């Protein structure tokens, strides 16, 4: 992961603008699609990422997480998990407490931006039915992404 720490903007929208600039440095797409933990799986055979974005719901969850992060004052990390050619699928991560903040190397009151150094193949799954089948198959393996 590449990381940088910045002053914490007051809104997710302002933070996302900085995040897009950060992503562009590594030739990642600057269009951000917010996702939650249940929206991303590690599939096989080549450990490609499978994403099932719930765009409106995930944006609301991301905004709420950002507000919680501001209130806690422990810092916030915007983390790109994977990307297609046009979108970076990203997550708002808020430390649960001081030890969690330290383990994630987030400075108190700062914005940390991160992305993997390499992009892996990412497939967007549109069908809810197909997503449920894939989630049943790959959800256990995918839990490691969020630890």
- Tokens in use for 88? 């970076």
Mean per-residue pLDDT for 10-14? 95
Contacting residues for 61 by C-beta, under 8 A, at least 6 apart: 34, 36, 92
Q: What percent of the chain has pLDDT over 90?
A: 53
Q: What is the pLDDT of residues 109-132, one digit of tens each?
A: 899 999 998 888 898 999 999 989
Least confident of 5-19, 38-52, 79-93: 38-52
Residue 1 above 80 pLDDT? no
Q: How far is CA 145 from CA 12, 37, 98, 114, 139, in A?
A: 22, 9, 21, 14, 10
pLDDT at residue number 45: 57
Dist CA 123 CA 87 (whole Å): 11
Average pLDDT over residues 87-106: 90
* Residue 92 pLDDT greater than 90, yes or no: yes
- On whether the CB atoms of residues 81 and 89 are closer than 8 A, the answer is yes
- Whether residue 24 is predicted with pLDDT greater than 90 in this model: the reply is yes
Q: Which residues pair with 6 in a beta bridge?
A: 111
> Could you read off the pLDDT of 29-58 as tens digits, one per residue?
999 999 988 888 888 656 578 888 888 899
């Amino acid at each position: 992961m590449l990381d940088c720490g910045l002053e914490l903007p007051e809104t997710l929208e302002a933070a996302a603008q900085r995040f897009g600039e950060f992503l562009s440095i590594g030739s990642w797409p600057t269009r951000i699609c917010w996702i939650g933990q249940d929206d991303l799986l590690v599939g096989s055979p080549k450990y490609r990422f499978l994403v099932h974005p719930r765009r409106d719901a995930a944006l609301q969850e991301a905004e709420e997480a950002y507000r919680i992060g501001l209130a806690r004052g422990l810092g916030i990390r915007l983390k790109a998990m994977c990307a297609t050619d046009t979108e970076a699928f990203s997550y708002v991560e808020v430390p649960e407490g001081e030890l969690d903040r330290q383990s994630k190397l987030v400075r108190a009151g700062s914005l940390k931006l991160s992305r993997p150094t390499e992009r892996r193949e990412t497939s967007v799954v549109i069908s809810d039915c197909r997503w449920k089948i894939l989630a049943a198959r790959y959800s256990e393996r995918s839990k490691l992404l969020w630890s």
